Amino acid sequence: MRATIETESKRVMASGAAQPRIRISRAGMRYDAIEVFRDVDLDVGDREVVAIIGPSGCGKTTLLRCIDGLLPLTAGELRVEGEPVRGPREGVAMVFQHFGLFPWKTVAQNVAYGLKMAGQRPDAIAAKVAECIKLVGLAGFEHYYPHQISGGMQQRCGLARALAVEPRVLLMDEPFGAVDAQTREILQFELLKIWEMRPTTMVFVTHSIDEAVLMGDRIVVLKGRPSSVHEMVEVDLPRPRSRATLTLPRFAQLREHVWSTLMAEALEAEHEVKK
Amino acid sequence: MSRARARVRRVTIAASLVLGAIIWQVAGHYTSDAFWAPLSATLASLVEVVRTGVLLRQAVSSFELYLAGLVVAVVVGAPLGMLLARVGWLRVALEDYIMMLYATPMVALIPFILSIMGFGFAPKMLVVFLFAVFPVLYNTIEGARSVRPELVEVAKSFRSGEWRLWCDVLIPYTMPFTMTGVRQAIARGLVGMVAAEFFLSPSGLGQMIMMGSQNFDTAGMLAAILIIVLLGVALMDLGRHLEGRFARWRSYSP
């Protein structure tokens, strides 16, 4: 535990920032009688990519929504760029699990949404929208409606909408959870490429161990009832990462490590059901 | 294949309409004029009222009444429905009244409206309004309440204010549901219009039907009914078109 804290503070020093982008201390959340998580500590440095993984119902998504300011914590403290989070902030953007696209808006109008909310000028919006649509590979589909394009393209649109506001912190809630396996892989590698072009602080929730190891600098394993940080796994794979990363022996090692950490609990749960 | 099938369909429809017209004509010849008039006499009567301008005058009077009641029903029903969907305590307070009134056959209220408001234009408009407003209100509430929470969260995440949330999310989301209500209101409002013209001060196409019936002018009565039928069919088509326009994405679920 101490070792983790030391590496974290080193990371923060190395990035040259006086404070981490996100600082979560002793965070707790409860809905009435149900305590979801407790005593969660997590610092995320500038341009660091953190994956949150854990069994269903452990509060991964809830934690992410707290960071976005959509939900208040019931205990502890949460600071983004040094300021306590009291609601959705400028500089933080979210990619939603089920895309969250407005079905009555075209791809271009959906991508423009965040910029419009930020009160930008129409010509600036138009330029930014065109740029982001190109970045995520949706050029030519500007005037399609969400129901006319595939799930993968819909999430590209959701990603473009978040990138358009040039967030310093990008949050993603199981971003590729609702698309098929092949599309998921394609989108993972594209996201890695996009991140190399414009690195931001990124926190994402996932069910996929491969995804967590491939994309993350660190993996937060949430476990228990109420859940808390069970383990913090440092992913020391070199960047830029690509399909070749998947073949590194270190990738397999890390993958195996996270797998056994998670599966111990899954097996226990299975056993409980049988009893 | 499909073109051949479409032709069969068209021929069947035409044959059905022609057969209906023939039965109408024949039935008219074999019954007393007091009960039924042949199609030819009905059409002759129709030409007569068109020529004298009676039809236009009465139809305009009816349509004014209908449109006024319908427009007020939509203008009141849609925003009120949105408001009730967003403001919980107001909905809880009014829900039971709305259900009761929605379930009440509005014709039952006409004598009551007559004794309170008398014979003017306003009570008749109120009848059309009462017939039309509840489908709009009811469907709007249901629509606005079913708005996907994720979309509201997206708006909040991108720091939308409450006013922008209404314009960008709630109103566009609810529009197709409201339009379903409008389509129903278009049909029910027509019923309200004829009922108001029968039971309050007689006017418009309702009055033409009443007068035809009282004077044993069956052809004149059927001519007025035929106009109402055509009006109804045209308006229902318009309603379906309106609903379809706003419902393109309605089946969308990611």
Section B241-247 average pLDDT? 83
Band of residue B1 on the pLDDT scale cut at 50, 70, 90: low
**Cβ proximity of A241 and A192 under 8 Å:** yes
10 Å CB burial of residue B233 (0-12, 13-18, 19+) is exposed
Contact residues on chain A for B172, CB-CB shorter than 8 A: 102, 104
Taking Cα atoms as reference points, which of B232, B239, B180, B186 lies closest to residue B205? B232
Helix (H, G, I), strand (E, B) or coil at B252: coil
Beta bridge partners of A220: A52, A232
- What is the pLDDT at residue A272? 66
* CA A112 – CA A107 distance, rounded (Å): 9
**Interchain proximity B158–A102, CB inside 8 Å:** no
B149 lies within 8 A of chain A by CB: no
**Interchain proximity B157–A151, CB inside 8 Å:** no
- What is the pLDDT at residue B4? 87
| Per-residue pLDDT tens over the stretch B190-204 | 999 999 998 888 888
Q: Which two tokens stand for residue B139?
A: 């469907």
Positive or negative, the CA dihedral A43, A44, A49, A50 is positive
| Per-residue pLDDT tens over the stretch B120-138 | 899 999 999 999 999 999 9
Q: Which of B80-94, B147-161, B237-251 has the lowest mean pLDDT?
A: B237-251
The residue type found at A35 is: E
Residues in chain A where the model's pLDDT stays below 50: 1-17
- What is the pLDDT at residue A225? 83
**Interchain proximity A93–B164, CB inside 8 Å:** no
A118 lies within 8 A of chain B by CB: yes
Distance from CA of A221 to the nearest CA of B (A): 25
**Interchain proximity B160–A147, CB inside 8 Å:** no
**Cβ proximity of A48 and A21 under 8 Å:** yes
Q: Does ipTM top 0.90?
A: no
Please state the φ and ψ torsions of residue A92, each to the nearest 5 degrees.
-120, 130
The 3-class secondary structure across chain A, one letter per residue, is CHHHHHHHHHHHHHCCCCCCCEEEEEEEEEECCEEEEEEEEEEECCCCEEEEECCCCCCHHHHHHHHCCCCCCCEEEEEECCEECCCCCCCEEEECCCCCCCCCCCHHHHHHHHHHHCCCCHHHHHHHHHHHHHHCCCCCCCCCCHHHCCHHHHHHHHHHHHHHCCCCEEEEECCCCCCCHHHHHHHHHHHHHHHHHCCCEEEEECCCHHHHHHHCCEEEEEECCCEEEEEEEECCCCCCCCHHHHHCHHHHHHHHHHHHHHHHHHHHHHHHHHC
For chain A positions 151-180, those within 8 Å of chain B (CB to CB) are: 151, 154, 165, 178
A148 lies within 8 A of chain B by CB: no
| Per-residue pLDDT tens over the stretch A115-172 | 999 999 999 999 999 999 999 999 999 999 999 999 999 999 999 999 999 999 999 9
Which of A61, A101, A102 would you mutate first to test chain B, the one with the most B CBs within 10 A? A102
Taking Cα atoms as reference points, which of B68, B181, B171 lies closest to residue B121? B68
**Interchain proximity B254–A101, CB inside 8 Å:** yes
**Cβ proximity of B178 and B136 under 8 Å:** yes
Q: Edge-to-edge strand order for the sheet containing A201-205?
A: A92-95, A169-173, A201-205, A49-53, A218-223, A228-234
**Interchain proximity B252–A146, CB inside 8 Å:** yes
- What is the pLDDT at residue A5? 45
Q: Which of B150, B160, B173 lies closest to A117 in CB terms?
A: B160
Q: Which of B156, B164, B254 lies closest to A99 in CB terms?
A: B254
Band of residue B37 on the pLDDT scale cut at 50, 70, 90: confident
A145 lies within 8 A of chain B by CB: yes
Q: State how far the alpha carbon of B161 is from the alpha carbons of A76, A108, A169, in Å.
A: 27, 22, 21
Taking Cα atoms as reference points, which of A211, A189, A176, A173 lies closest to residue A137? A189
Contact residues on chain A for B173, CB-CB shorter than 8 A: 104
- What is the pLDDT at residue A274? 58
Find the residue in A nearest to B159 (Cα).
Answer: A88
Positive or negative, the CA dihedral B106, B108, B111, B115 is negative
Residue A122: CB atoms within 10 A of its CB come to 10
- pTM of the predicted model, to two decimals? 0.80
